[in-house]
Amino acid sequence: MTETGSLLASLDCRACCSSFDPDRAMGVCPTCGHTLFATYSLDRLGRGRWWNELGRRPPTLWRYRELLPVRRFDSVVTLGEGGSPTLALGEVPEAPGVDVFVKDDGGLPTGSFKARGMAVAVSRAKELGLKDLFVPSAGNAAVALAAYAARGGLHARVYLPERTPGPMVQQCTLYGAEVVRVPGTIREAGDAARTAERGRGSFDLSTLREPYRLEGKKTMGFEIVESARDGSGLPDAILYPTGGGTGLVGMKKAFDELAHVGLLDRIPRLYAIQPEGCAPVVRALKEGAARTTPWPEARTIAPGLLVPAPFASERILEAVRTSHGGGLTVSDRAMVESMRALAARHGLSASPEGAAPYAALGPLVARGEIRAGERVILYATGSGIPFAGKDLLNEFAG
């Protein structure tokens, strides 16, 4: 069997309603510059047979292949990504009566949820004949691109803020990627990358600036629903650490696709959790704005959340609002305390980003947005190993 059975039909722009051939290598919409979304022939899925067959397939994200964009198995670049556990935390003192779980992506290849998006994006790039890939990143996306490009025999160049944790920089180099250090945040790294890459014939894998990382990220939503097959375990709310916001958009896309084929009758509320020192999405939600505005003098100990101006922010806000969710900020100190609590109370290693939802849980309960009797998933996006032994509050925020 050489064909995956992908039902990929087109690339669509929600902003200008343009539609494009998905078998052309494309970044943003050439008409208006907004994000392109992969669209599938969902009516051809055969929902019952497909849903029942998933449990018999290998436990990687590629078991959802009909709703992923890669058409041929020989184009798949994989390190075994997907299938991360959803772990019950038991009683959490800060959230009495709430049924709390952690979806832990820290054990995925390269140590974070970025493996999902890069596995699919790099696979599709290989299928479309692309050879030279680049990404600006706060760290985890760069490590993931470096690893998957090496696995797929492609060249990778990563643009990293100067304060990116050393282990992440070293991993990129070890995988053979070309590393470019840039003063400032991910915003400056993105500007530098797009200036340097202009005219080189390389392909930009930046967050929401190409269609396929999103498709890998939506498997987070598929896995959450699949782990609650009878509906009884479907969460009421998902707390998600938000930097570039692709995960929120991806999970909402997954839920919408499953609802379209009759496999889901309600959608969990999505909550964007951001640090106090860089919270453009939470601010826009609070103000009722259609899109974010750049956050001045952004700072936080969490590299992946240091995104002062997320691209396609209107899609992030749309995902949260249409799920009837919300947003909350947490302090750097609360993230560090939550890293310690997850480790000491529950045996879980989480990065500052991955610990942010735990830090937000108690305040959301106090505000009445999370209620006793509800089932809540805290999305832990990365491992705490790169931060082990570091004085985070002084080293990264000082």
Complete DSSP assignment for 299-355: --S-GGG--SS-TTHHHHHHHHHHTT-EEEEE-HHHHHHHHHHHHHHH-----HHHH
CA 180 to each of CA 40, 139, 172, 208, 364: distance values in angstroms, whole numbers, following the listed order: 37, 12, 11, 21, 39
Per-residue pLDDT of the chain (398 residues; tens, 9 = 90+): 699 999 999 999 999 999 999 999 999 999 999 999 999 999 999 888 999 999 999 999 999 999 999 999 999 999 999 999 999 998 899 999 999 999 999 999 999 999 999 999 999 999 999 999 999 998 899 999 999 999 999 999 999 998 888 888 999 999 999 999 999 988 999 999 999 999 999 999 999 999 999 999 999 999 999 998 755 589 999 999 999 999 999 999 999 999 999 999 999 999 999 999 999 999 999 999 999 999 999 999 998 999 999 999 999 999 999 999 999 999 999 999 999 999 999 999 999 999 999 999 999 999 999 999 999 999 999 988 877 666 666 755 44
Q: What is the pLDDT of residue 393?
A: 65
What's the confidence (pLDDT) of residue 398?
A: 44
Predicted pLDDT of residue 48 = 87
Residue 366: beta bridge partners? Answer: none
Instruction: Give the global pTM.
Output: 0.94
Residue 269: closest CA among 319, 211, 338: 319
Please say whether the dihedral angle defined by the alpha carbons of residues 347, 236, 223 and 311, taken in this order, is positive or negative. Answer: negative
83-89's contacts with Cβ under 8 Å and 24+ in sequence apart are 83/59, 83/223, 84/108, 84/223, 86/223, 86/224, 86/227, 86/377, 87/346, 87/348, 89/345, 89/346, 89/378
Strands 326-330 and 203-204: unpaired
State residue 165's pLDDT score: 83
Say what the pLDDT of residue 392 is. 67
User: Is the distance from CB of 38 to CB of 69 less than 8 angstroms?
Assistant: yes
SS3 380: strand
Task: Specify the residue for token string 């952004």.
Answer: 298
